[in-house]
A and B are shown apart, each in its own frame.
Chain A
C-alpha cells in the first residue's frame, strides 16, 4: 500500500540512497588499492591522499557513467591518472621554483626491515614509466593486455617495461648487497 502511494520525491530519495550505497561499496572495495597506486605514482603520502580524495569525489559525480561493476577498477585508475596530470598542470601554471617541489619523497624514508626498506627505496628510484606498469601488475593484478589498455600503450612496450623494471631492481639489489658486504666484511 505504501509502495503504491510513493510520491515522486520518495523515488528521488531512494535513488539517492541507492547511489550512496553504491558509492560506499566502491570506496570500501577499492580505496586501499587506489591509495597505494597513488602513493607509488607520486611518492608522497599526503599528496596521494589528496589525489585519492579528488578521484573519489569525481567518481561520485559521474557514478552513473559506470555501467559495468567489473570495469570499476580501470575506471577509477583512469580518473586518478587524470587527477594526477591535472596536478602537474596546476603546478606549471603557478610557476614554482623547481627546487621547491618534489623534494620530498616518502619512498626514501620507508620503514621496515633492511631488505624491505632497500626495496621500497629502489622502487621509488625507478622511473615512473617502469614503476607504473609494475604497480598495475602487482597491486591491481592486471595482465599485460590490461596494463596496455590502461596506459594506452601496446602490449610489447608494456612487457619490455616490466622486464626492465625488474631487471633494474635486481641489478640495484645486487649492487647494494655488494656494498653492504664490503662494509661488513
Chain B
C-alpha cells in the first residue's frame, strides 16, 4: 500500500481495523504518526460535533405529542357528536329523576359517543327518504316528504330506549332529531339545554320526537316540518 492510499483510507475512517492498513503502519513510523494525528483530530471533531442540546427538548417532544394528539382527537369529534352525547345526558337526567334510582349516565353518554363516531365514519353519503322511512317503520311512522338534508340515520339507544337518530344539515346548522317510542317509563321534558345545545320535544301520535341544535339555533322550522310530514299507520 502506498502512502497516498494509506492516507485516503485513514481519512475515510481513522478507526479502521482493515488488516492491510494496520500492516502498512506497522513498519512505517511516519504513517503511524499520521494515523495518530488523525485520530486526535477525530476526537476533537467529535467534541465539536456534539453541540449542546436544548435542556428541555426531550420534554418538549413528549409534551407536543400529547398536545397534538389531543388536538387531533378534538378535531375528529364534530360538535354534533357532542350534541348526541348531551342528548343522551339530558335524557339520562330526565329518566333518572323520574325513576328515582341511580343511573350511570357517563356510560350512556360514552356508548352513544362511540356509536355516533363510527356512524360518521361509515356513512359519508346523505340519506334518502326511502332509507329514513325504512327505519321509521319500526316506530309505525313514515315521512310523507323529506324533512331536509339528512346525513346520518341510524338507531341508537338512549338510556336503553331504542331510538332513531337523524343528523341533519340545516340552514340553522347541524341538528339532531331523535325519534323515541312512547313508553310509560320514559319521561322527556318539553325543552332542555346545556351550555352548548338546546333541544325541544314533541309528543306525536305514537312517538316522541326530540329536535336538538346549537344553543342559538331556531328549532321551530324543523319541528314544523316534522309535525307536518310525519304520519303514523293505523
Q: 8 Å CB contacts to A: which residues of B49-69?
A: 49-51, 53-54, 57-58, 60-62, 64-66, 68-69
Do B61 and A135 touch (CB < 8 A)?
Answer: no
Task: Tell me the bound Cα distance from A26 to B38 in angstroms.
Answer: 33
Are A116 and B62 interface neighbours, CB within 8 A? no
Interface residues of A in 130-163 (CB under 8 A from B): 134-135, 137-139, 144, 159-160, 162-163
Of A31, A159, A162, which is within 8 A of B53 by CB?
A: A31
CA distance A160 to B7 in the complex (A): 12
B-side interface size class: 20 to 34
In the complex formed, the residue of B with least CB distance to A135 is B49
Report the minimum CB–CB distance from B68 to chain A (whole Å). 6
State which of B12, B14, B44, B58 has its C-beta within 8 Å of the C-beta of A115. Answer: B44
Tell whether, in the assembled complex, residue A144 and residue B13 are in contact, meaning their CB atoms are under 8 Å apart. yes
Residues in B with CB closer than 8 Å to A24 are 62
In the assembly, what is the distance between CA of A167 and CA of B14, in Å?
12
Q: Are A49 and B38 touching (Cβ within 8 A)?
A: no
- B64's contact among A32, A57, A116, A137, by CB below 8 Å, is which? A57
Contact A49 B57, beta carbon cutoff 8 Å = yes
CB of B48 within 8 A of CB of A56, answer no
Would A116 and B51 be within 8 Å (CB), given that A49-B57, A159-B12 are in contact?
A: no
Contact between chains at B54 and A49 (CB < 8 Å):
yes
B101 contact set on A, CB distance < 8 A: none
Instruction: Tell yes or no: A120 within 8 A of B by CB.
Output: yes
- Tell me which of A33-41, A66-74, A84-92 binds B: A33-41
Asked if B30 CB lies within 8 Å of chain A CBs, one says no
How many residues of chain A have a CB within 8 Å of chain B? 40
Is B41 an interface residue when CB atoms closer than 8 A count as contact?
Answer: yes
Interface, chain A (partner B; CB < 8 A): 20, 23-24, 27-28, 31-32, 35-36, 39-40, 45, 49, 52-53, 56-57, 60, 110, 112, 115-116, 119-120, 123, 134-135, 137-139, 144, 159-160, 162-164, 166-167, 169-170
Q: What would 29 A/B residue contacts be, using CB atoms closer than 8 Å?
A: A28-B58, A31-B58, A32-B57, A35-B53, A35-B54, A35-B57, A36-B49, A39-B51, A40-B49, A40-B51, A56-B64, A60-B69, A110-B48, A115-B44, A135-B49, A138-B42, A138-B45, A138-B46, A139-B46, A144-B13, A160-B12, A163-B8, A163-B11, A164-B11, A166-B11, A166-B14, A166-B38, A166-B41, A169-B45
A32-B57, A166-B11 are known; give 17 further A-B pairs, CB within 8 A: A23-B65, A31-B57, A40-B51, A49-B54, A53-B64, A57-B64, A110-B48, A112-B48, A119-B45, A134-B49, A135-B49, A139-B50, A166-B12, A166-B38, A167-B11, A169-B41, A169-B45
